[in-house]
Structure 1
Amino acid sequence: MEKIVSQECIETERFDLRPLRRSDQGMIELHSGDARVAQMTTSVPHPLPPGSVEAMISRAMSDQRDEDIWAMDGTKQGRSEVMGLISLQKMDRNQSEVSYWVAPPYWNTGLASEAVQALVLANPTSNQTMFACVFQDNPASARVLTHCGFEYLGDAENYSVARDRAVPTWTYSRKL
């Protein structure tokens, strides 16, 4: 039997943000294993090592997790069960960091903006502030954040596992 994770499901008109389940492993491996996706994240390695997605799903289902991860599930409109992932990494002082990736077939469809906006409106962890960082060579993700009301804070850099180096980033925040 699959463990029930106490994490809110967030509905939108086109898709649902729902907790991960073990059956998502294949689709997550397919999409996050794409170099174009992995290289725009800090934590997804490329190539994906065996067991990495299974371990990530196990962490997401743990009662002791410090990050809530949702699948962008489009089945209610006849689309894929996993069109991307979005997460909230818990921080101190009632804050979280938003991270997301969208599968290439759904790029430029407004999916990321709708997912971020749904997460902000639902505010499932009752945050006062959400932060997000995007690589400077990914202006589309920066547009998603500004479209969803995030304000630019400044430049920094984060390490990308897939790129094996530090990459310049733009940092954003949104007060809730």
Structure 2
Amino acid sequence: MVVEYEEIPEESSCFAAGSPQDTARLVIDRARKDDLADILFLANNRRIAEKLTNMPHPFTYEDAKALVKRCEVQLPSQATFAIRMKNTGRFIGAIGFNPLAEDFGAVHLGYWVGEPFWNQGYATEAVQSVIEFAFANGVKELSASCRVSNPASHRVLTKCGFKQDGTTKLHSLGAMAVVDATRFTLTRTQWIANTRWGSAG
């Protein structure tokens, strides 16, 4: 399960924003050095890279170390987290967001989950947790995008309350091509309304 994932710039300053809440099956926290083997094994997959913008293929050990380093950066509108199994602690993917320069208070969400863990609901759990975390830390709007040819991620984003907001073209390092993508958005106001409606139901 993958969605378009933007690189998050490495910064020297950190913001102790905490971590998203655990889900029924997942822990969302920082990647660690002892995750490097799992990161490399899962991320070095062309099927994932072709669906993302900035994930290289081959994915090297240096790329895995860079992901761990990005998890050290936590700002109100910028963070990267590991997705890991609660019962084993194993790393299974990554999720994060970074600011949209043209829209203060808005961030772009991206995630990927290793292929052995696709189609099991893990992406939906992780996205829901990070949505709540982002809005609790002052984010006003989330955007995301995924390839038109990736219906699984369309379903994840729709389940999590995102609305389609047109189409765009993105350059994918893994696909080595410009690809068609669907844009999605979710505002804090919409999310609150959806949450209240769900509670009332």
TM-score band (shorter)?
A: 0.7 to 0.9
Q: State the distance in 1 between where 2:70 and 2:131 align.
A: 23
**Alignment match, 2:93:** 84
| 1:55 alignment counterpart | 66
Alpha-carbon separation, structure 1, partners of 2:71 and 2:30: 8
In 1, Cα distance between the equivalents of 2:43 and 2:99?
22
Once residues 5 and 19 of structure 1 are traced to their aligned partners in structure 2, the CA distance between those partners, rounded to angstroms, is: 13
Q: Residue 109 of structure 1 is aligned with which of 93, 104, 120?
A: 120
State the number of aligned residues.
171
Q: Is the 8 A contact 1:71 1:81 kept in 2?
A: no
Change (3 A) 1:64 1:6: closer
With CA pairs under 8 Å and 6+ residues apart, which has the higher RCO, 1 or 2? 2
Show the counterpart of 1:6. Answer: 16
Tell me the CA shift for residue 32 of structure 1. Answer: 0.8
- 2:177 aligned with 1:168: no
Matches of 1:113 and 1:164, distance apart in 2: 28
Cα separation, 2, equivalents of 1:6 and 1:23: 22
TM-score normalized with structure 1 length: 0.88
Question: Quick one: percent identity of the two aligned structures?
Answer: 26
Q: Deviations over 1:14-43 (max 9, x none)?
A: 111102222222211111101111111111
Aligned alpha-carbon RMSD (Å): 2.1
Tell me the equivalent position of 1:97: 108
Query: Unaligned regions of 5+ residues in structure 2, if any?
Result: 1-13, 189-201
TM-score, scaled to structure 2: 0.78
Q: What is the SS of the residue equivalent to 1:140? A: helix
